[in-house]
Structure formats: structure tokens, C-alpha cells
A = this chain, B = another copy of it.
């Protein structure tokens, strides 16, 4: 395991909500991150799909980790947007995010969300958002 992935795992372990959802970080390199969430029953909505809120959490968290991989300051998501393109039915949710632009006080990132069903990955959502240095953006 790379040193960077080890750091990523430590940060993920320090997020109680990510622990509740059993999010695992599987790749972490400058400008890129991958994380996985096993689709347990308690993460679903009433039609048996993964709840959109889990997908948006994964998108948000992946955007923030991607930005964090290139910004050596405490950061927070300022805003993001997500498009759901397919119902999320399967065993695992995968979020991959990349940095599109990084400056001193902000990064803009994109995230692709995939659902794995019977071993086949399918795109289920795409996201885009801004991550900012804490204390820079808030008054």
C-alpha cells in the first residue's frame, strides 16, 4: 500500500459517518481517488435501490478527497452538483474523482459513480463541485 493510500485510510477511519456506511478508500494518488461502499440493506430506499443520499454522499466525499490529494490545507466542500443517470441496483457502489483545476484556495473536481452488479460496472451518476480551504470561504 502506498503511503498516500495509508493516509487516506486513516482520514476515512476518522469520519464516523463514513464508518457507519462502511466506505473503503481503494486508490489515492495526487489528483485521483477511488472509494467503494458495499450496498447493505440499510442504505436503500423504499423501492430497493441504493438511496440517492448514499450516492450523493459518495460523490461529495470523493470530490473532497480528490481535492485533498493536491491541497496541503484543511478543506471542505463548498458546493457540488450531481446527475443520477441509472437506478443504483447492485452489490457495490464505486466513486472515482479527479481534480480538474487546483489553485491556492480552491479546487474544482469531477466524480463518476458506478454501480457493480453481478461483477459488471455501470455508470449511475456524475458529479462536479468546488472544494475550498477552510476559513477562506466562510466568515
Question: A residues touching B (Cβ–Cβ < 8 Å)?
Answer: 11, 14-20, 41-47, 51-54, 56-58, 60-61, 64, 74, 76-87, 100-106, 108, 110, 123, 126-130, 132, 136-139
B100 to A77, Cβ gap below 8 A? no
How far, in angstroms, from A139 to B57 measured CA to CA in the complex? 25
Give the Cβ gap from A75 to chain B, nearest Cβ, in Å: 11
Max chain B Cβ within 10 angstroms of own Cβ: one of A16, A44, A86, A100:
A16
Contacting residues, chain B, for A84 (C-beta < 8 A): 76-79
Q: Quickly give the copy total for this chain.
A: 4
A138 to B86, Cβ gap below 8 A? yes
How far, in angstroms, from A58 to B53 measured CA to CA in the complex? 7
Contact with A76, one of B18, B20, B52 (Cβ below 8 angstroms): B52
How far, in angstroms, from A85 to B84 measured CA to CA in the complex? 19
| A14-B46, A82-B79, A128-B128 known; A103 vs B137 contact (CB < 8 Å) | yes
Contacting residues, chain B, for A20 (C-beta < 8 A): 20, 42-43
